[in-house]
Structure 1
Amino acid sequence: MSDNNSMPPYNDLIGDMLKKKTDEVGMENLKGFGKPLPKEYFSGDTFQHFQRIAKDAGYKPHWLKLQHEIRDMVYAIDEVIAREKPAELEKRIAKVNEKIAEHNKHCPPLMLKGRISIDTLDRAKEIWN
C-alpha cells in the first residue's frame, strides 16, 4: 500500500501567483482584460504562441541582444583595422569571440556561429549582418 501522506502537496505556482496578483491589484487594469483570445492562440505549438506574444510585447531573447552587440563590435573593428596596433586588434577580437561563445550557449542550434579572426573579418561582417 502506498502512503499518500509521504507525497508533497501539489503546488500550482503560476495559479498562486495569479491569485496573489488578483487579490493585490486586480486584473482589470491589464491590457486586453475581458477580451477573447485570438483564435490562432489555440492552434499549433504552445512555444510558438509564447514567442509570438513575447515578440508582440517587445521582448528580445538574450542571444539576440548578443547578436546585435557582436555585429556592432565586428563593424567597429573593421573601421579601425588600419589604424589599430595588432595587439589591440587581437584584444578586441578576443572580446568578440567571448561574446560569440556566450551567444552560442543561448541561441537555437541553427543559429550557432564560429569564432572570428583578423583574416576572417570580411566574412564575419557578412555572417553577423
Structure 2
Amino acid sequence: MENLKGFGKPLPKEYFSGDTFQHFQRIAKDAGYKPHWLKLQHEIFALVQKIDEDSLNEERAELEKRVETVNEKIAEHNKHCPPPMLKGRISLETLDRAKEIWK
C-alpha cells in the first residue's frame, strides 16, 4: 500500500463533497482500476482479431469452436457492462463487423 501514488498525501477536498459513488469511480480510475467488463472487452477484441487472422489457415470446425468461446465471453461481458455497452453475438460471417464493434 505504501508504494501507491499519493501515499501519505491528504485527499483533495472534492473527494469529500457530492456523490460518494462518483468519487469512488474517480479514485479507482486514478489508481488504474479497470472494471471486469472492460477487461473482457479488450480480451474479446484480441480473440476476434486472432480468429480473423487464422481464418485462412484453420478448419472451419475449429474456428466455429473458437467463435463459440468468444460468444460465451460476450455473454459474460453483457452481464456486467452498463446497458448502452451491450453487444451481440458474433459468427464467422460477421468477423469484419465484429472487429469494428469490439475496437
Taking structure 2 as the reference length, the TM-score comes to 0.87
Letter in 2 for 1:47: F
Within a 5 Å distance, the mapping from 1:43-62 to structure 2 comes to: 43-62=17-36
Q: Is 1:103 matched up with 2:101?
A: no
Instruction: Please give the per-residue CA displacement for 1:9-39, whole angstroms capped at 9, x wherever unaligned.
Output: xxxxxxxxxxxxxxxxxxxx68135x2x313
Within a 5 Å distance, the mapping from 1:21-60 to structure 2 comes to: 31-32=7-8, 35=10, 37-60=11-34
SS in 1 for 2:76: helix
| Segment drifting more, 85-94 vs 55-64 | 55-64
Displacement of 1:40: 2.5
Displacement of 1:42: 3.5
SS in 2 for 1:58: coil
1:128 corresponds in structure 2 to 102
Instruction: Please give the per-residue CA displacement for 1:37-90, whole angstroms capped at 9, x wherever unaligned.
Output: 313324443211111101111211111111111010000001011111010010
Rg larger for: 1
For 2:59 and 2:38, how far apart are their aligned partners in 1? 30
SS in 2 for 1:119: helix
Query: Which of 91, 95, 115 lines up with 2:89 in the alignment?
Result: 115
How many corresponding residue pairs?
99
Letter in 1 for 2:40: L
C-alpha RMSD of the superposition: 1.6
For 1:108 and 1:98, how far apart are their aligned partners in 2? 18
Structure 1 gaps, min length 5: 1-28
Taking structure 1 as the reference length, the TM-score comes to 0.71
Q: Which has the higher contact order (CA 8 A, sep 6+)?
A: 2
1:24 corresponds in structure 2 to none
Structure 2 gaps, min length 5: none
Letter in 2 for 1:67: Q
